[in-house]
């Protein structure tokens, strides 16, 4: 068993090392793995315990409809332990360490997700701060009417939170897109994801960026004090210009999904296709909310062959099964 039973497993030692070391410090040994994808996600999966939240943006005559849904992972036990050594005041975030933004400017729509690197929380910092403020800054810049590409928007937002000292410390991934007419431009840095679906089938997607297993590319703000205390270590400090850029054509009724790794570490693209085909008549807000609830249920299932557990099995040579418990955030956009 992997995720749900992880606290009772001797494997907790490896997980802590992955979280605290490879997530923040650059591991020079890059592991390449071949992933065996699961096929067990269906629209019939449900959760009575999920407290996922959702909201939508729908304006008559606007060419895009957007909806966001999220479900943070359970942190109560971890929070009690971490309060003892918190170095900064932590802000309670409804979406956990994940964050998102949706913004409208004229006939254009911008949206995206960001995933704060959890290892900083284990060191006493607020891992949600950088992803939250980055998303706030991207939304603010876009709604001002600045004519920026996704990478430029990411650059502008990251510069702002650094130069204005809005965030003291942290790291985050980011995946964002700008819709204009029949074009979607995307920038992805790290292991969040964007996929374009037409009639329920994937036609285009971004690729994750990692330095190694469970070590995504990430924007980072690291004070000199921490660098001094860890002399000899190489921190991961990627830049917005390191993001991969994409341009996709979209047409009426296409569904575009932006998701943090809480989704793609658990289920496969084929599972998403099955879900969308089974729910093609479902309103967008319900579609996104139900989707997140289903992924959340599987993330708690000790027997589910998640993408993450299969990657882990290949890495260690041991069998691991179970969903990967994590924050789950999804922005869905439907082309009108």
206 vs 55: CA distance, rounded Å: 24
3-state helix, strand, coil in the chain (%, to 5): 30, 25, 40
| Residues 100-106, mean pLDDT to the nearest whole number | 96
- 90 — pLDDT class (breaks 50, 70, 90): low
List C-alpha distances in Å: 29 to 26, 32, 172, 176, 314. 9, 10, 22, 29, 16
Helix, strand, or coil (residue 61): coil
The pLDDT of 265-270, averaged and rounded, is 98
Q: What is the pLDDT of residue 42?
A: 43
- pLDDT surpassing 60 at residue 88: no
User: Which of 194-198, 229-233, 254-258 is predicted with the least confidence, judged by mean pLDDT?
Assistant: 229-233
Of 47-51, 112-116, 169-173, 230-234, the least confident = 47-51
Pick the CATH number of 6-335 from 3.40.50.450, 3.60.40.10, 3.40.50.2300, 2.60.40.1120: 3.60.40.10
| Separation between Cα atoms, residue 50 and residue 66, nearest integer Å | 22
Tell me what the mean pLDDT of segment 190-194 comes to.
99
Burial of 61 (0-12, 13-18, 19+ CB in 10 A): exposed
Determine the pLDDT at residue 76. Answer: 67
Give the pLDDT score at 75. 76
For residue 24, name the pLDDT band (cuts at 50, 70, 90). Answer: low
Measured N-to-C along each axis, helices 269-278 and 284-299 cross at an angle, to the nearest 10 degrees, of: 140
Closest CA to 139 of 123, 154, 118: 154
Other C-beta atoms closer than 10 Å to the C-beta of 222 total 17
- Confidence band (pLDDT; 50, 70, 90) for 19? very low
**What is the mean predicted confidence (pLDDT) over 90-112?**
92
* Residue with more model confidence, 54 or 145: 145
Q: What are the tokens at 206?
A: 């971004």
CA 144 to chain CA centroid, nearest Å: 25
Q: Which two tokens stand for residue 73?
A: 């992972």
Average pLDDT, the chain: 84
Per-residue pLDDT at 124: 86
The pTM assigned to this predicted structure is 0.83
- Residue 89 is predicted with a pLDDT of 55
- Tokens (6 digits) for 285: 């807000």
Residues with Cβ < 8 Å from 295, sequence gap 6 or more? Answer: 41, 71, 262, 263, 266, 267, 328
Orientation of helix 150-163 relative to helix 128-143, angle to 10°? 120
């Amino acid at each position: 068993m992997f995720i749900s039973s992880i606290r009772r497993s001797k494997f907790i030692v490896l997980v802590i090392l992955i979280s605290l070391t490879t997530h923040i410090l650059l591991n020079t040994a890059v592991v390449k793995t071949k992933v065996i994808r699961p096929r067990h996600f269906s629209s019939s999966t449900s959760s009575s315990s999920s407290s996922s939240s959702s909201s939508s943006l729908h304006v008559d005559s606007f060419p895009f409809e957007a909806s966001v849904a999220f479900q943070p992972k359970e942190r109560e036990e971890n929070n009690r332990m971490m309060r003892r050594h918190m170095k900064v005041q932590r802000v309670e975030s409804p979406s956990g360490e994940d964050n998102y933004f949706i913004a409208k400017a004229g006939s254009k729509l911008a949206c995206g997700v960001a995933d704060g690197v959890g290892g900083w929380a284990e060191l006493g910092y607020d891992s949600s701060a950088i992803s939250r403020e980055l998303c706030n800054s991207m939304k603010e810049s876009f709604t001002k009417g600045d004519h920026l590409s996704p990478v430029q928007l990411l650059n502008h937002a990251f510069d702002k939170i650094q130069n204005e000292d809005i965030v003291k410390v942290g790291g985050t991934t980011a995946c964002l897109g700008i819709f204009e007419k029949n074009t979607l431009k995307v920038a992805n840095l790290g292991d969040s994801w964007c996929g374009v679906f037409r009639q329920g089938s994937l036609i285009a997607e971004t690729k994750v960026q990692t330095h190694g297993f469970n070590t995504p590319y990430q924007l980072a703000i690291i004070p000199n004090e921490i660098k001094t205390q860890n002399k000899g270590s190489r921190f991961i400090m990627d830049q917005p210009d390191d993001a991969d850029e994409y341009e996709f054509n979209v047409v009426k009724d296409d569904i575009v999904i932006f998701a943090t790794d809480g989704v793609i570490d658990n289920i496969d693209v084929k599972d998403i296709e099955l879900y969308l085909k089974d729910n093609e008549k479902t309103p967008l807000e319900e579609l996104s909310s139900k989707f997140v609830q289903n992924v959340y249920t599987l993330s708690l299932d000790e027997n589910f062959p998640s993408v993450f557990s299969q990657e882990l099995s290949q890495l260690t040579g041991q069998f691991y099964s179970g969903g990967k418990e994590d924050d789950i955030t999804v922005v869905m956009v439907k082309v009108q």
